[in-house]
Chains A and B, each alone.
Chain A
Amino acid sequence: MSAVIESHDDHHHGPAKGLTRWLFTTNHKDIGTLYLWFSFAMFLIGGAMALVIRAELFQPGMQIVEPEFYNQMLTLHGLIMVFGAVMPAFVGLANWLVPMMVGAPDMALPRMNNLSFWILPFAFFMMLSSLFMEGGAPNFGWTFYAPLSTTYAPPSVTFFIFSVHILGASSIMGAINVIVTIMNMRAPGMTLMKMPLFVWSWLITAYLLIAVMPVLAGAVTMMLMDIHFGTSFFNAAGGGDPVLFQHIFWFFGHPEVYIMILPAFGIVSHIISTFSRKELFGYSSMVWAMVSIAILSFVVWAHHMFTVGMPLAAELFFMWATMLIAVPTGVKVFNWVATMFRGSITYETPMLFAIAFVVLFTIGGFSGLMLAITPADFQYHDTYFVVAHFHYVLVPGAIFSIMAAVYYWLPKWCGNMYDERLGRLHFWLSFIGVNVTFFPQHFIGLAGMPRRIPDYALQFADWNMVSTVGAFLFGASQILFLFIVVRTVMGGKKATPEVWEGAQGLEWTVDSPPPYHTFSTPPEVK
């Protein structure tokens, strides 16, 4: 009998004390918090690297760093932002929100959850430690094309390969956890088509992760074998083909970019609906749009390789398939706008970030359509226009959605309201910073400035200077973000359980902050 009573007590216990709480925790809220703080740390590190890049590009000529170090900064900035900042932030949000949104007590596999977080710091420690190794850190760009990453790679490339293996394993475990939770632990009555859109977006994202992270692992394993075991997967002398690397990489890489944007679609749908005080327009079309985008992401990869030498038929196929993606994406943008139409909109910080997301992500989408036009891409390929394009979809796209999510759900997580005035200030500084940084890059790209270079021709000087000023403004305003979040966690006006007038969903039915264990008995969903 005593065992029963004990387990009953267990049920209501709070978190353990001290450091071991975080090391050994299997609680989805703790792990979500760990993921989010980790990704923020990586965001600052990757951001600092971006500022090194922008500082060097402030003026033409070499001022601050050596070209070799510039290449290392460029590579690590990309790798850290993609795998260290954006992806873990979304996994953190999934940890916090998915169980609370589907009415589950925790993630389905809590111990694996702990493991998949705690191997991440090791992966990035290994990747960053290569900065201090002989020959320096990886310097071949985040796409690590062979033979740059094999024949010509610095010796530290092996550490890079293993860190990719580890972070891949982490993502795969995270994805399995999310799928099992969603498929098996929804509250009674919550059918698939009643799930909140953030849950839907993560379910689709998790399937994409399961499909492509193993391919990334395969690609780096082939590199490892080429470098150390004398195989010739990508070595033309032995009958291999470097172009094969690009095919394999982008077979992973294109679904990967949707992995970084689909959860954002879910977040923005919640926020726009709440602050417009209206049901989301076209829920089921939103779901089907995400499913179509996910499926199409597997048949467009070669649009990254238009200039590699492909026959016309293949170029046309990949051009049309890519343009087809604009259709479901257009459906989503239409639905967000239709949700706001005639809504009683208020402009709190999460809503500001969400609206900026819709506008700026759409700009990034349009430049993507321009790049999809094969003959035009021959002109744009590897110019700053591409840099402008993917930063528009990733920074005011993915990262704005993460910031929106933090402002939106932070009062729920810690029970305190953030300072609305400071939040709006952070938004406007970020909004101006991001546009001043990246909009001019469209111009210099169309004018022909190549990407991934530490020096450039004089005619690009003015816009590069503007871009650098914007980058430092954007970077500095993230310190304000850190300050706002820390201050909110420490204290502030108490938040109600509902937090936002008109917020829908199970997570708003529990207290703010929620008890350590929520929904031990599943709620009834009508």
Chain B
Amino acid sequence: MNEGGKKTIKMLSLAVLGMFFFSFALVPLYDVFCEVTGLNGKIDLSPTRIAESDISEGRDITVQFVSHNNEQMPWDFGPSDEVINITTGKYYTATYYVKNTTSRAMVAQAIPSVAPSNAAAHLKKLECFCFEQQILKPGEEALLPVRLIFDNELPDNINNIVLSYTIFDVTEDNLDELASYMHEHGEDHHSMGS
């Protein structure tokens, strides 16, 4: 093998390694890309505050709330109001009703999505139950708030927005959190079996 050959092998092996790591780099790149462009209906999962504008600048839009239960998630889960008429540039609070219908304590995570996807960049949430996991004891119910605002830059052709939440059972992945929560709240540990 001559020098040129060795060099080619080295370069190609580096390229292979590089592409392998590039495939993993696609993961954050994809998230960044979605966040910047608001593609895919992905929403920023952290609170953002924007100033409320003069109400006269806003326009009327309709927001529909929908809910999905992922896989075998047994909880009752749904919006308190299915449709609200709101004005852009103004804060509103909506609520979702949730009840743990099982006989064990469970941890849930709600994931939001917006359609049409180009509305996602204009939705800001001051507060959302999707920012954190929900722990509910057996039979416990709750009203989960989401405080949201659509900014005035919302494209003119969007008059109807669907805000969807899918609730996932993440108990298995969060047994430690569940245990410490139950400890703090002085519950007996026997109800925690899964």
Contacts and interface: CB of A to CB of B under 8 A. Distances in A.
Interface of A: 108-109, 151, 172, 175-176, 179-180, 183-185, 210-215, 217-219, 222, 230, 233, 236-239, 241, 243-244, 247-248, 251, 309-311, 314
Interface residues of B, number: 39
Interface string B103-141: 000000101000101100000000000000000000000
B2 A184 contact: yes
A232 B100 CA distance: 24
B28 to A, nearest CB: 10
A217 B18 CA distance: 12
14 contacts: A176-B12, A180-B8, A210-B19, A212-B19, A215-B20, A218-B26, A219-B23, A230-B173, A237-B168, A238-B170, A241-B40, A243-B40, A247-B30, A310-B39
B5 interface: yes
A219 B22 CA distance: 11
B36 interface: no
Nearest to A184: B5
Contacts of A237: 70, 109, 111, 168-170
Contacts of A243: 40
Majority DSSP secondary structure for residues of B touching A: helix
Interface of B: 1-2, 4-5, 8-9, 12-13, 15-24, 26-27, 30, 37, 39-42, 45, 70-71, 109, 111, 115, 117-118, 166, 168-170, 173
A239 B8 CA distance: 40
Of A151, A215, A219, the most chain B CB neighbours within 10 A belong to: A215
Contacts, number: 100
Contacts of A215: 19-20, 22-23, 26
Given A179-B8, A309-B40, 5 more contacts: A109-B1, A218-B20, A237-B170, A239-B111, A311-B117
A214 B23 CA distance: 8
A341 B45 CA distance: 63
B24 A176 contact: no
B72 to A, nearest CB: 11
A239 B166 CA distance: 12
Given A176-B13, A180-B8, A183-B4, A236 B19 contact: no
Contacts of A218: 19-24, 26
A373 B18 CA distance: 34
B117 A309 contact: yes
B186 to A, nearest CB: 28
Contacts of B40: 241, 243, 309-310
A-B pairs, top 6 by smallest CB distance, nearest first, are A218-B23, A237-B168, A214-B19, A214-B20, A215-B23, A184-B5
Contacts of B24: 218, 222
A244 B40 CA distance: 10
A215 B2 CA distance: 30
Of A183, A184, A213, A238, the most chain B CB neighbours within 10 A belong to: A184
A217 B71 CA distance: 28
Contact of B9 (A109, A185, A214, A222): A109
Contacts of B173: 230, 238
A186 to B, nearest CB: 11
A138 B23 CA distance: 23
A163 to B, nearest CB: 18
Contacts of B168: 236-237
Contact of A236 (B5, B37, B166): B166
Given A230-B173, A237-B111, A179 B19 contact: no
Contact of A239 (B9, B15, B16, B45): B45
Nearest to B41: A309
Contacts of A247: 26, 30
A311 B39 contact: yes
Given A108-B5, A238-B173, A233 B23 contact: no
Given A108-B1, A237-B170, A239-B45, A311 B16 contact: no
A302 to B, nearest CB: 11
Nearest to A233: B27
A195 B23 CA distance: 33
Contact of B12 (A180, A222, A311): A180
B39 A179 contact: no
A218 B117 CA distance: 28
A394 B24 CA distance: 30
A311 B33 CA distance: 13
Nearest to B170: A237
Contact of B5 (A180, A233, A241, A314): A180
Contacts of A185: 5
Given A179-B8, A180-B5, A215-B23, A172 B39 contact: no
A184 B4 contact: yes
B26 A248 contact: yes
B193 to A, nearest CB: 21
Nearest to B71: A151
